Copies of this chain bind each other. A is one copy, B any other.
Amino acid sequence: MLSKSQISFIKSLHQKKFRKEHRLFIVEGIKSVTEFIHSDYLVNSVYCTENVMPKLAKLPQKIKLNQITSTELGKISTLTTPQNILALVELPDDNEIETLSFKKRFTLALDGVQDPGNLGTIIRTADWFGLEQIICSEDCVEAYNPKVVQATMGSLSRMKIRYGDLSSLLKYSDVPVFGAMLNGTSITTIDFGTEGIIVLGNEGNGVSEAVANKISHRVTIPGLGKAESLNVAVSASLFCYELKRNILK
């Protein structure tokens, strides 16, 4: 049973302002919730219908488990078609880009990516290809936006995402900074080596000038047709694939 104030509290987390204030975000669906439970994230509480309860038998002690009806779930869900489980997860404390290491690995850097579906798909694909961290400019869509969380299909639970000033960070980068841009070396021929940061820009305007100035290697995905551009999640996916292509089996 959910009280009116519980419903209004959870519904407030549909909005960024209140996620920030309460340091909580919403995860829905049994697969995603289970993955968050087994991740480094702290799951604060779980709301689910009776039929899902058995699947949560071996929960770590701390999580508050609340059995509710489908109708109640419908009231707090962010989804058009609510699933039968919703969790409140704590926003990570460590938000500093500076605590990340960029050596001996590849990191995506997103400069002004606006669409939640794009960010979600980028996180999911980066996870598929074994990347572990993504840095985002302050004006990127928030990774804890329900639409982003949903589109990651659980991969958000495994990805380190940090927000900050890309331009300042890249200025002192100790690894190569590749950028997805027009008029660069073809992605099919460039040697990415074993470490680096891959910058991808905004859906409409590409990489901002301040960030573009910090790019050491411009890389292009060549086209054969008449399309003017690729979707940013598609570009990111092709980069993730090409970075790891030699070790994929």
Contacts and interface: CB of A to CB of B under 8 A. Distances in A.
A193 interface: no
A92 interface: no
Given A117-B117, A237-B238, A238-B237, A226 B158 contact: yes
Contacts of A247: 224
Give how many copies assemble into the complex.
2
A131 B227 CA distance: 11
A57 interface: no
16 contacts: A31-B228, A124-B227, A126-B225, A127-B225, A128-B227, A130-B224, A153-B229, A158-B227, A186-B248, A186-B249, A188-B245, A221-B248, A224-B247, A234-B234, A234-B237, A237-B237
Interface of A: 31, 117, 121, 124-131, 151, 153-155, 158, 186-188, 221-231, 233-234, 237-238, 241, 244-245, 247-249
Given A124-B231, A125-B230, A128-B223, 17 more contacts: A117-B117, A121-B234, A124-B234, A128-B230, A129-B223, A129-B224, A153-B227, A153-B229, A154-B227, A158-B225, A188-B249, A222-B248, A224-B247, A233-B233, A237-B238, A238-B238, A238-B241
